[in-house]
């Protein structure tokens, strides 16, 4: 999965999971279908820890996550826990105002049930296009 971000590597960005696709003009307080299971929270992306990959003639430069991005496991059986989309914003909480920087569809549904031992984007699975 790939997206384009033109923020400095020291800018705080957070990734979240949702059941619906977002719109670029949306904002953090109005995320459509953000997951609500017990233990869910947006994960801070530390772009300084991402690998910079130089562009080629056919592809722009991008950042690639060196490590897996780990989401909290579902501590209960209530709340929405099936993600089909992700979004990136500048704020950690849905109660805070902030823009949706980017969004996209997951390659496959992520169902975070209580029985899971891990819920993550694997290492080197998320590309952030560099401008």
As a whole number of angstroms, the distance between CA 104 and CA 21 comes to 7
The domain ranges of the chain are 2-130
Which DSSP letter does residue 59 get?
B
Of residues 84, 55, 63, 69, the one with CA closest to residue 7:
63
Which is it for strands 62-65 and 127-130: parallel, antiparallel or unpaired?
A: antiparallel
- Give the tokens for residue 113: 């049930």
pTM reported for the whole predicted model: 0.80
φ and ψ at 8, to 5 degrees? -65, 150
Which DSSP letter does residue 48 get?
G
Q: How do the pLDDT tens digits run along the chain, 131 residues long?
A: 444 445 555 578 899 999 998 887 788 888 999 998 888 899 998 877 888 888 888 878 888 888 888 888 888 777 778 899 999 898 999 899 888 888 888 878 888 877 776 777 788 877 776 55
């Amino acid at each position: 999965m790939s997206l384009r971000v033109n923020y400095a590597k020291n800018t705080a960005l957070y990734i979240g999971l949702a059941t619906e696709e977002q719109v670029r003009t949306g904002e953090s307080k109005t995320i459509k279908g953000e997951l609500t299971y017990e233990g869910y929270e947006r994960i801070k992306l530390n772009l300084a820890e991402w690998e910079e990959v130089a562009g080629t003639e056919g592809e722009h430069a991008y950042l690639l996550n060196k490590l897996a991005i780990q989401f909290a496991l579902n501590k209960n059986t209530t709340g929405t826990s099936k993600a089909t989309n992700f979004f990136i914003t500048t704020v950690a909480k849905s109660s805070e105002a902030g823009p949706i920087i980017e969004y996209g569809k997951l390659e496959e549904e992520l169902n975070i049930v209580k029985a899971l031992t891990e819920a993550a984007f694997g290492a080197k699975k998320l590309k952030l296009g560099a401008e």
